[in-house]
Amino acid sequence: MNKKNNILKSPTGMKAYLPQVALELKELEEGIIKSFSLWGYQPILTPTVEYLEALKLGMGDALEKGLYKFIDYEGNILVLRPEMTAPIARTIATNLNELDLPLRLSYSASVFRYEEPQAGKNREFYQLGVELIGVEDCAADAEAIILAIESLKKTGLADFNLDIGHVGFLNGIIAELGLNAEMEYAIKTYFNKKDLVGLNNYLAELEVEGRELLGEIPLLRGSVEVLEKASQLTNNQVAQAAIANLYQIYSFVADYGLQDYITFDLGLIRGFDYYTGVVFEGFTGDLGYNLCGGGRYDHLLERYSGVEIPAIGFALGLERIYLALKRQKRFRGQKAGKNLIIYKEDSARLAFKLAGILREQDLVTIISPLALYKEEALLAAKGQDPALPEGVEQVFYLKDERTLLVKDFLQERERIINIEGTWEEKIWEK
């Protein structure tokens, strides 16, 4: 392999964003963070790398295949974080004596997963999310779901929906049928992949009474009436408790007026051993991938702290939401117009002062010496292209120590301000 080929490339699956897109992604990110903070979620920062052992303790072996691993000077195996929930759980569990529960935490971070290159997926991507730690109540379940919907709504996204399931339902039925760990693993694999053909073939050979029940679960998807149907399928207590939990969540979500955004899907379990209760995923018809995912994980912190601490959270994929907004043509950028101050060498002092005044008012201001521009262009008549940097709406040209020419391209207006004596107020005159 020719190593030279790598010099000009980003590593496979890693992406750079140029200013125009980067600015829009940042705006989108800030908007979502704002939603989180309005609900009282405070930021938390954790290291980009973690010890492999620490992550495995939290996440199980399932994700190991997709991890970026490397070895430090002491021989420890480090990994680039593939998600934020386990690192946050570890951080909180090891700092419990400094913290008061419940905790409302939010994050915005890049995460790394070694996806197969042909899948066309990024190996570094941006996730925003929250974790509500220390509350077991269904009000907390509902809060996470409502906040996920609200923060997606705030971005301007339309036509999206959350599928809500509960791992307790399937777990209860598996326990009721007395299936062993191997069978449980096989069945959950089919559920995770939504491989109904595989599931039905497997069940056909399973010599367990009541096995047909498992084949019906993937079909339990729809509005709240599905819960009634599910409830009639089994008397198992764990499964019934799961249904009761979902009813309560529905009632909170309906009180908030967001019931149209949710669908129940009892076949949804999201992975193997991480989640313990309600689970959910958000999607829109405009994008072939999930927008967000999350759920309740009551045993994760315990793996680090030895004390049971319930928690729930979710993560949103920043780039996916951006892509969906673009496809829906609903991206709301607030492109701030720029000001450009151009000065001749001897009027630098005035230019800096003027720039200071504008920036004081939160106005984006670029300063540049005249040498970089053609004076004729700056003095060009209305409508002629002065070849200015993109996004410049107003030019302040310091012609000499007495004269400031202000050209407003948006209003197609120009005026001359005499800058002898006090002139600072005059720049705001309309």
What SS3 state is found at 35?
helix
User: Which residue, 285 or 337, is less far from other proteins as judged by CB?
Assistant: 285
Give the residue from 43, 27, 16, 36 showing the smallest Cα distance to 322: 27
CB of 79 to other proteins, least distance (A): 22
CB of 2 to other proteins, least distance (A): 21
CB of 219 to other proteins, least distance (A): 8
Residue identified by tokens 């480090």 is 78
What SS3 state is found at 357?
helix
User: Which residue, 97 or 118, is less far from other proteins as judged by CB?
Assistant: 118
CB of 194 to other proteins, least distance (A): 4
What SS3 state is found at 386?
coil
Which residue blocks in 39-164 are alpha helix, DSSP H?
A: 52-59, 85-93, 138-154
CB of 7 to other proteins, least distance (A): 29
User: Which residue, 329 or 430, is less far from other proteins as judged by CB?
Assistant: 329
User: Which residue, 105 or 217, is less far from other proteins as judged by CB?
Assistant: 217
User: Which residue, 245 or 263, is less far from other proteins as judged by CB?
Assistant: 263
CB of 285 to other proteins, least distance (A): 4
**Radius of gyration in angstroms for the set of CA atoms belonging to the chain, rounded to a whole number:** 28
Cα atoms in the Cβ-side hemisphere of radius 13 Å centred on 322: 21
CB of 115 to other proteins, least distance (A): 10
CB of 14 to other proteins, least distance (A): 20
Q: How far apart are CA 220 and CA 232, in angstroms?
A: 12
- Are 67 and 79 in contact by the 8 Å Cβ rule? The answer is yes
- Are 268 and 168 in contact by the 8 Å Cβ rule? The answer is no
CB of 283 to other proteins, least distance (A): 5
User: Which residue, 93 or 287, is less far from other proteins as judged by CB?
Assistant: 287
Q: Say if residue 414 is exposed, middle or buried (CB neighbours under 10 Å; 0-12, 13-18, 19+).
A: middle
The H or E element that residue 11 is part of is: none
Kindly report each contact of residues 5-10 with a partner whose C-beta sits within 8 Å and lies 24 or more positions away, as own/partner: none
Q: How far apart are CA 424 and CA 387, in angstroms?
A: 28
Give the residue from 271, 206, 252, 233 showing the smallest Cα distance to 59: 271
User: Which residue, 116 or 346, is less far from other proteins as judged by CB?
Assistant: 116
User: Which residue, 119 or 410, is less far from other proteins as judged by CB?
Assistant: 119
Structure tokens at 196: 């109904």
CB of 86 to other proteins, least distance (A): 21
AA identity, residue 397 = Y
User: Which residue, 263 or 276, is less far from other proteins as judged by CB?
Assistant: 263
- Give the residues lining the site for other proteins (CB under 8 A): 116, 118-120, 161, 163, 193-198, 219, 221-222, 263, 265, 283-285, 287-290
User: Which residue, 35 or 263, is less far from other proteins as judged by CB?
Assistant: 263
Strands across the sheet containing 292-296: 42-43, 103-112, 124-133, 311-317, 292-296, 278-284, 160-166, 262-265, 221-222
